[in-house]
């Protein structure tokens, strides 16, 4: 899991500092304040650490690995090895070394910081990035474009999760979320993937079966969680990065989704969300207070062409003044005047 993060002199951030991440963390701010950028950057680091297979990187640390500042001589095969440049594949690279620091912890409570050597560190939390656009109805199209090397605008935040869904998994029963044993029915049915064709179908409780392409946008959006669970991806050792979870959802469903996310976080899933929706913020606040459960919110605030981070605020203890709630209130007052 991710504990702390700081990034300096990068894009709109002079110095963005995030301390003491909770199991549920919300990034709130206006458009173009860098919420998705931070979300993707954290995902990038987690993804790279999780996918390190070589245990002989004796001189490499996280900072070097993410910035691609080293080569490893693979004597077994007589070649030099350079890691995949994930920042570039996520459209985060700006042609220069990125100054950041981070601390993460694995399930054995072993902490590693940016300047610690990676060698032998087992980072066993699996990151999953859920983009703002739904992907269930366009998975095969995205993979086709990727395989044909056609520039499509879909970066690795889309292709990564699709590859995870389509790959076979062998999951330890102990890692599965017990929460899903009691059905959480968002949409009066369930969603399954045809193992032969990879087609995604919606099985409605009335017995009808529909291809995902002709279902409501909200079903497509919410169905990703059931699919991730059924394919063995969403487990107690998962980190979810969710961009604009409120997209295509009625406010009632937004509230239910927030309850669902908090409930799975209580089983060990760490969650990061980027949003500018007052229902997301208010419902997380309601849950935090009712359950006496820490939920962190960080506000991204524009100041002189830069973004300042205000927080963390623990919503179980306080509901800070913020522009998103002010706008919702101003709209309500305007409608009554």
The CB density around residue 236, as the number of other CB atoms within 10 Å, is 17
Query: What predicted TM-score, i.e. pTM, was given to this entire model?
Result: 0.91
Q: In what helix (H) or strand (E) does residue 138 lie, and over which residues does it extend?
A: none
CB 178 within 8 Å of CB 267: yes
DSSP SS3 for 322? coil
Task: Give, for all 337 residues of the chain, the pLDDT tens digit.
Answer: 999 999 999 999 999 999 999 999 999 998 899 999 999 999 999 999 988 866 566 678 899 888 887 665 544 444 444 555 788 889 998 788 899 999 999 999 999 999 988 888 889 999 999 999 989 988 888 888 888 888 888 899 999 999 999 887 777 777 888 888 776 778 888 888 887 888 888 989 888 898 898 998 888 889 899 899 888 899 999 999 999 999 988 999 999 999 999 999 999 999 999 999 889 999 999 999 999 999 999 999 999 889 999 989 999 999 888 777 767 766 767 666 6
Q: Where does 2-125+237-336 sit in CATH, by number?
A: 3.40.50
State residue 193's pLDDT score. Answer: 87
| Residue 319: Cβ-neighbour burial (10 angstroms; 0-12, 13-18, 19+) | middle
CB 301 within 8 Å of CB 8: no
State residue 84's pLDDT score. Answer: 59
CB 41 within 8 Å of CB 7: yes
State residue 71's pLDDT score. Answer: 62
The residue extents of the domains of the chain are: 2-125+237-336, 138-156+173-235
DSSP SS3 for 118? coil
State residue 58's pLDDT score. Answer: 63
- Residue matched to tokens 């859920």: 130
How far is the C-alpha of 280 from the C-alpha of 273, rounded, in Å? Answer: 10
How far is the C-alpha of 172 from the C-alpha of 169, rounded, in Å? Answer: 10
CB 28 within 8 Å of CB 322: yes
């Amino acid at each position: 899991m991710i504990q702390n993060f700081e990034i300096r002199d990068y894009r709109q951030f002079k110095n963005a500092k995030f301390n003491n991440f909770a199991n549920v963390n919300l990034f709130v701010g206006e458009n173009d304040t860098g919420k998705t950028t931070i979300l993707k950057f954290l995902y990038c680091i987690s993804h790279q650490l999780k996918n390190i297979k070589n245990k002989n990187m004796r001189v490499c640390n996280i900072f070097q690995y993410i910035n691609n500042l080293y080569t490893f001589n693979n004597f077994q095969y007589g070649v030099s090895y350079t890691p995949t440049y994930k920042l570039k594949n996520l459209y985060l690279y700006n042609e220069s070394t990125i100054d950041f620091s981070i601390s993460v912890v694995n399930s054995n409570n072993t902490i590693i910081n940016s300047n610690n050597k990676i060698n032998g560190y087992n980072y066993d939390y699996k990151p999953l990035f859920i983009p703002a656009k739904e992907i269930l109805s366009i998975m095969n199209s995205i993979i086709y474009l990727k395989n044909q090397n056609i520039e499509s605008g879909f970066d690795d935040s889309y292709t990564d999760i699709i590859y995870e869904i389509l790959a076979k998994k062998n999951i330890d029963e102990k890692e599965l979320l017990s929460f899903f044993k009691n059905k959480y029915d968002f949409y009066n049915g369930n969603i399954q993937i045809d193992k032969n064709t990879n087609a995604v179908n919606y099985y409605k409780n009335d017995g009808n079966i529909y291809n995902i392409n002709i279902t409501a946008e909200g079903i497509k959006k919410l169905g990703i969680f059931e699919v991730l669970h059924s394919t063995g991806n969403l487990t107690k050792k998962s980190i979810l990065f969710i961009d604009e979870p409120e997209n295509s959802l009625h406010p009632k469903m937004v509230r239910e989704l927030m309850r669902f996310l908090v409930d799975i976080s209580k089983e060990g899933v760490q969650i990061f969300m980027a949003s500018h929706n007052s229902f997301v913020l208010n419902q997380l606040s309601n849950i935090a207070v009712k359950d006496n459960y820490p939920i962190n919110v960080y506000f991204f605030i524009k100041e002189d062409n830069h973004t300042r981070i205000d927080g963390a605020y623990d919503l179980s203890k306080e509901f800070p003044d913020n522009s998103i709630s002010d706008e919702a209130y101003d709209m309500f007052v305007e409608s009554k005047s």
